[in-house]
């Protein structure tokens, strides 16, 4: 939120992954995670560390997909937090300085309450995004290895279009939508009561 010379560049570079197609980002990261020719494993080998089976190990595959999904969406969350930070008048911080507040007190009593609505928005968006993860596991692993990256949306898709259980898949979709609404309602209730 500070006024830096290249502030626009940093904002654009954080937000760029958000506007790139999810399929493009997923294919890019699939290449980065490649066991033999992937850039990440080459860097690890260059540092003298062993290669990691990012997408073929059931222990690591979901972590790899989560890292990629986080990288893709963090720009949106940064922009939302910036909106919250810019809504705080500078006079609040000046008054806190006059009162002798330290950096932690300014953060706790000025900054955090100001970004609380944006924090709520980020929690809701990331929860919905986590529940609706589909493109990433579908393209990168197809739900494998050993169903370790089988997200709820991918499971519903497979039930409908691979096993042709359309009724079961539709029921799961409705149940899942209700579940997401309940989780969001609980989060909203918890955050609103935390404010009081």
Q: What is the pLDDT of residues 168-181, one digit of tens each?
A: 999 999 999 999 99
Residue 196 or residue 13, greater confidence: 13
Domain ranges of the chain: 7-195
* Residue 196: band (very low, low, confident or very high) from pLDDT cuts 50, 70, 90: low
C-alpha 96/C-alpha 98 separation (Å) is 5
Alpha-carbon distance of 72 to 15, in angstroms, equals 9
Q: For domain 7-195, which CATH number applies: 3.40.718.10, 1.10.3720.10, 1.10.10.200, 3.40.50.300?
A: 1.10.3720.10
CA–CA distance, 55 with 140 (Å, rounded to integer)? 7
Q: What's the pLDDT tens digit per position in 66-119?
A: 999 999 999 999 889 988 898 899 999 999 999 999 999 999 999 999 888 888
Residue 126 · residue 180 · CB < 8 Å? no
Of 16, 34, 35, 28, the closest CA to residue 135 belongs to 28
């Amino acid at each position: 939120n500070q006024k830096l010379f290249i502030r626009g560049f940093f904002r654009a570079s954080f937000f760029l992954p958000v506007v790139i197609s999810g399929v493009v980002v997923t294919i890019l990261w699939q290449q980065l995670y490649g066991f033999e020719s992937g850039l990440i494993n080459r860097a690890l080998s260059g540092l003298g560390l062993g290669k990691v089976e990012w997408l073929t190990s059931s222990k690591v595959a979901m972590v790899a997909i989560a890292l990629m999904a986080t990288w893709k969406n963090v720009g949106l969350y940064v922009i939302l937090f910036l909106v919250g930070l810019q809504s705080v008048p500078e006079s609040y911080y000046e008054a806190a300085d006059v009162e002798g507040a330290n950096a932690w007190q300014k953060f706790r009593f000025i900054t955090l309450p100001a970004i609380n609505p944006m924090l709520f928005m980020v929690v809701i968006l990331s929860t919905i995004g986590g529940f609706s993860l589909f493109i990433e596991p579908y393209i990168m692993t197809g739900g494998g290895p050993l169903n370790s990256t089988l997200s709820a949306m991918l499971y519903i898709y497979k039930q409908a279009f691979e096993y042709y259980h359309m009724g079961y898949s539709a029921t799961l979709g409705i149940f899942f939508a209700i579940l997401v609404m309940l989780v969001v309602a609980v989060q909203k209730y918890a955050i609103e009561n935390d404010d009081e």
